[in-house]
Amino acid sequence: MRVLFLYSDEKPRPGVNTALPQPLVAFKGSRSVFLTQRSSQDELSNAPAVSILELRNEDVELPDSDESLYWCKIFKLDDFAQKHHLVRYEPVFDSSTSVLYLNHLILYECQGLSKELEQLSRDRGHPCFRLQPMHCNTVVANWARGSDGFTFPPEAGYPLESHQATYYMLETHYNYPDYTYDFSPFYRKNLSKQQRNMGIKSRDDTAEPQQQPDDADSDAGDADDSAAMEQQMVDNSGLKLYYTHRLREHDAGVLSVGMDPNWRHIIPPRQEKVVSQGHCIGACTQRAFPPDGINIFAVMSRTHLIGRQVTLRQMRGNAELQPIMRDSNIDPSYQDYRRLTVPTRVLPGDSLVAECIYDSSSRKSITLGGMTTREEICLILTLYYPRQRELTSCHSLPSLPTVLHSLGIEELAS
Per-residue model confidence as pLDDT tens digits over 51-82:
999 999 999 999 887 778 999 999 999 989 99
Distance separating alpha carbons of residues 16 and 116, to the nearest angstrom? 69
Query: Tell me, what DSSP letter sits at residue 21?
Result: P
Distance separating alpha carbons of residues 298 and 31, to the nearest angstrom? 21
* CATH of region 252-389: 2.60.120.230
Task: Specify the pLDDT at position 391.
Answer: 96
Q: Average pLDDT for residues 83-89, to the nearest whole number?
A: 96
Report the b/e string of 368-393 with b at 16+ CB within 10 A. Answer: bbbbbbebbbbbbbbbbbbbbeebbb
Pair 310, 323: CB distance under 8 Å? no
Pair 314, 352: CB distance under 8 Å? yes
pLDDT tens sequence across 399-412 = 888 888 877 887 77
Task: Specify the pLDDT at position 37.
Answer: 65
Pair 158, 239: CB distance under 8 Å? no
pLDDT tens sequence across 313-343 = 999 999 999 999 999 988 887 888 999 999 9
pLDDT band per the 50, 70, 90 thresholds, residue 38: low
What residue type is assigned to position 287 of the chain?
R
Pair 358, 235: CB distance under 8 Å? no
Contacts of range 38-47, beta carbons closer than 8 Å, 24 or more positions apart: 39/148, 40/150, 40/151, 40/339, 41/88, 41/90, 41/148, 41/149, 41/151, 42/151, 44/87, 44/88, 44/151, 44/242, 45/154, 46/244, 46/246
Q: Which CATH class is domain 47-184+233-250?
A: mainly beta
Task: Specify the pLDDT at position 231.
Answer: 54
**Residues composing the chain:** 414
Distance separating alpha carbons of residues 15 and 1, to the nearest angstrom? 31
pLDDT tens sequence across 170-186 = 999 998 886 544 433 33
Residue 263: which residues within 8 A CB-CB, separation 6 or more? 368, 369, 370
DSSP 46-114: TGGGEEEEEEE--SEEPPSSS--EEEEEEEE----SS-EEEEEEEEE-S-TTGGGGEEEEEEEEEPS--
pLDDT band per the 50, 70, 90 thresholds, residue 194: very low
Distance separating alpha carbons of residues 290 and 350, to the nearest angstrom? 12
- Secondary-structure breakdown of the chain: helix, strand, coil percentages, each rounded to the nearest 5: 15, 35, 50
φ/ψ (deg, to 5) at 330: -70, 135
Share of the chain above pLDDT 90, in %: 58
A 10 A CB-CB count for 185 gives: 8
Pair 64, 220: CB distance under 8 Å? no
Pair 132, 279: CB distance under 8 Å? no
Distance separating alpha carbons of residues 171 and 204, to the nearest angstrom? 29
Q: How far from each other are the two terminal CA atoms of the chain, in whole angstroms?
A: 52
Task: Specify the pLDDT at position 112.
Answer: 83
Domain positions in the chain: 47-184+233-250, 252-389
Q: Average pLDDT for residues 302-308, to the nearest whole number?
A: 94
User: Which secondary structure element, helix H or strand E, spans residue 173, and what is its range?
Assistant: strand 167-174
Q: Tell me which of 6-15, 335-344, 395-404 is least confident.
A: 6-15
pLDDT band per the 50, 70, 90 thresholds, residue 371: confident
Distance separating alpha carbons of residues 301 and 299, to the nearest angstrom? 7
pLDDT tens sequence across 237-261 = 999 999 999 999 999 999 999 999 9
